[in-house]
Each structure stands twice: as structure tokens, then as C-alpha cells.
Amino acid sequence: MEKNLAIGRIIEFKESVLASENLENDFYDLVETYFSPIDDFFTDDLSDVYEVIAFLTEQIKAIHQTEERQEARVLSEQHLSFKQVAKQVEDAARAHRIYYFNDSSWQNYVIGDIHSDTISIKAIMKRSGFFKKVLNQEKVRLVFLGDYVDRGKAHIKLIFMVFLLKYLFPQNIYMLRGNHDMGSYKDGQVIMGVRIPEKDDHKDWFLPYLKMVADANKTFKDDIIAKITGLFDDLAILCFFLYEERAILGVHGGLPRAAFACDPKEIEFLQKLEENALNEENTELSNLSRQTLALKRKLLSKNAYSHLTNIAALTDDSDHDFLDRPRVNGMMWSDPAVEDVNFREDFHRFRYSEDTFNAYRQRFDFDILFRGHQVQPEGHKKFFQGNLINIFSSGQIYNDGENINDETAYMRVPRPQIIYLDDQGEIIYLDLS
């Protein structure tokens, strides 16, 4: 298929979406037009797939530009309250890599990690009734919390499908960035945003896999790596849902690094307390250290985010922490703590306490945080009195009692889930199997 024909088929499909009699079948037939002829990505002709992905990366960046709203940008620079900004902007306004969703008449679905798994994507589309609702011109919106790639078995096809969904349905599909959706390509070298464990096969990791394919297959040019990572750089970091009785913040990982976690002296003191708290030989010292540590963290948490003076500061890449990493990275990497020690505050992937979380909630004025990032065998898990909810969307997918998902890296997740928000902001968990 020639370049203009490969891209032309996509454009033609977009122009005739609402004329489809069975949009779900037509969408998957379109995808298979490009992928069914491929038996081996290292030897078969990938020129059509290359051309379409390259086209989609540029189109989606252009879509992002149309989503930007100056009013949302200005208000995000003036306010600390997500609620105050969301009340004053139009629905789905984007500014400073933040989406504001304030129209409760939309059916909102929130999607956790996918990790190169098209079987789970198909289950998500089916469970949400997405294609039927689009054809019926219902207000349906899927918001992905990031981690589209790595570990699964369908790297290229997955990114093709997700990018295609955003291009075809720009008002229905929204994408946040995860910690795996990072990296760059410079001077012929892949620069990873995550560390690959020594025992892992590099074919299980998206960017190294693309490089291997490009090196072996001249129909898949290596500049596609820079095009894809360029789009990753352009993805939003946060989303905010405003309902009459509930305000929900969405992010891939969690919180930015707290102010006290940027002070080496404070870190040293906290780590000494943690060391004493873990002292099994001296119970009295251990208990006293735990009490002191909890009190110290509680006091420090009160001003944990006083250094951030507006919402826009949350996604400012120029603001670096004491590890010389952009502070925004914390929101893609950090995790809620499940115990009162080992917060790893001097690690890239640090943990935050309930006190720190509550200080963050209060400062930025929201009620509940949705996040992905951590594997949850039951599809979701609640933390901090249910105010933080972890959702995970790749795993076993059953058909007639049999698992059909041979692409997921998460066979240990028997119940992958997504979240549905009704018009009151009530949270409903939907199994994908």
C-alpha cells in the first residue's frame, strides 16, 4: 500500500465514522488491514504501519493544541483550587498538561495500566459500550491514566490502536502519561525513562523493541522512536473531574515530592529514625522511634506543598527536586505508603504518607485521587480511608470460562477493572472479564 493510500484509508474512515452500521467490527477490521499481513515484525513489510503511526503522532499533537484553552491556562496560574478553576472553564479544557472535566452529563470511564496488551483494550471498549455509544452520539469519554507500553506482547499494535482511537474520536478519548511512557532517542541511541531489570528480555520493553525492529527491518525507520517519544512528552499529566458533590483528581502515579523531602538534613534525620524504628533488638527504642517518626512526619506534612503556589506549578518541568529530576516526575512514579517506615524519600520512586496525601488534597482542593501504576490483582485497591483509589486494567480476560489473553504480562491479575463515574460522580468498578 502506498503512503498516501495507507494514510488515506485512516482519513476516509474518520470522515465516515457515523455512517458505520457496526463501528466496533469496522474499527477492528481497519486495524487488521495493517496487521493481519504481518507474521514477523523483523522481516515483513511494515511501511504502512510506520506511515500511519508517524501520521497519527503528528495529528494527535495537533489535536492537543485544539484542546488548549487560554482561560484555563491563566486560571491555573492564579489558583491553588482545582474546583475553582474547573467551575470557570469549559468542559475538557486543557492547560499546563491538565484536563478539566466539569460536565456531569458525560459518561466517564477511567482506565488503568494497559502495558502492550490489545486484548484488554478490546475488553475495555466492549465493557464500556464505547462504539455503540459513539454511534448513538452519546456523551462517552474514556480517560487513560498512562502506561500504554512495556512488558506485554503487542507493543506496536497496542500503540497503533490507542493512537488511532485518539485520532478518530478526539472528544471521547483522553490520554495521560505514565512513567513507562517516557524516554527519548538521540544519535541512534534509545534513552530509557525506566530501568530495565537485568533478567528481562529487551524485547519485552517498548523502546528497545522498536530499535531492534528498526535495525532489522528497513521498512520501519528508526525516526519513529523520536516521533512516538515526542508525543509521549506532549501527553497530559493530570485530569480533574468536577461533580456537584465530589471532585476527583486523576494521575498515573501519585504526588510530587514534598518540600521536606527535598531537604537532605531532614531526609538524614528521618532515615535515622526509620533505622531505629526497625531495631528488633531494642523494642523500647523501636517503639519510641516509630512514635517520634510519625509525629515528625505529621508536623512536616502540614507545609508539605507550601512551595507550590498555583496549580500550574505541578506540571512545570523546569522545577527540579534535590535529585535533579523534574518535580513532575514524582506524579508518575510515587506510591502510597502502606506502613509507617521505609518511605524511600531519597529514591526516584518514593512513598508518601496519609498525612502528606491529606495536605496535598487540602492545598489543591479535591476529594479523591485516582491512580494506576501499581499492579492490583483484584483490579482496584483503596488507600487512605478510601480517598485514594488504584485501578489496574491489564490481566486475564475470560471468554466462555477460558482466559484468552496471551498478550498480558499480568497473569497474576485475574480481575482487571476500569472505573465508571455516573452523573453524580459515584464510583462503580467494572470487571473486564
Under 8 Å between Cβ of 392 and 113: yes
Query: Band of the pLDDT at 281, cuts 50, 70, 90?
Result: low
User: Tens digits of per-residue pLDDT, 129-141?
Assistant: 999 999 999 999 9
**Residue 262, pLDDT above cutoff 60:** no
What number of residues does the chain have? Answer: 433
Under 8 Å between Cβ of 178 and 208: no
Long-range contacts, 242-246 (Cβ 8 Å, 24+): 242/82, 242/83, 242/86, 242/87, 242/100, 242/101, 242/102, 242/104, 243/104, 243/421, 243/423, 243/424, 243/425, 244/104, 244/424, 244/425, 245/424, 245/425, 246/367, 246/368, 246/424, 246/425
Which cell goes with 218? 528497513
Helix (H, G, I), strand (E, B) or coil at 424: coil
Lowest mean pLDDT across 42-51, 57-66, 89-98, 303-312: 303-312
User: What distance in Å separates the CA atoms of residue 89 and residue 94, rounded to the nearest whole number?
Assistant: 9
What's the mean pLDDT in 282-293?
64
- As to burial, measured by CB atoms within 10 angstroms (0-12 exposed, 13-18 middle, 19+ buried), residue 254 is buried
Query: Band of the pLDDT at 65, cuts 50, 70, 90?
Result: very high
User: What distance in Å separates the CA atoms of residue 246 and residue 100, rounded to the nearest whole number?
Assistant: 14
Residue with cell 452529563: 105
What's the mean pLDDT in 253-275?
72
* Residue-range domains of the chain with CATH: 3-67+104-248+372-431 (3.60.21.10), 259-368 (no CATH)
Query: Band of the pLDDT at 1, cuts 50, 70, 90?
Result: low
The DSSP call for residue 242 is: E
The model carries a pTM of 0.92
User: What distance in Å separates the CA atoms of residue 45 and residue 39, rounded to the nearest whole number?
Assistant: 10
Q: Which residues contact 168 (CB under 8 A, 6 or more apart)?
A: 13, 14, 17, 27
Query: Band of the pLDDT at 348, cuts 50, 70, 90?
Result: confident
Under 8 Å between Cβ of 301 and 258: yes
Specify the DSSP element, H or E, that contains 141. strand 140-144
User: Tens digits of per-residue pLDDT, 380-404?
Assistant: 999 999 999 999 999 999 999 999 9
Q: How far is CA 321 from CA 195, 260, 316, 362, in A?
A: 20, 11, 12, 22
The letter for the amino acid at 249 is L
User: Tens digits of per-residue pLDDT, 22-64?
Assistant: 999 999 999 999 999 999 999 999 999 999 999 999 999 999 9
> Percentage of the chain surpassing pLDDT 70?
89
Query: Band of the pLDDT at 295, cuts 50, 70, 90?
Result: low
What is the pLDDT, as a whole number, of residue 280? 59
Q: Which of 211, 213, 208 is nearest to 197 (CA)?
A: 208
Lowest mean pLDDT across 188-197, 280-289, 331-340: 280-289
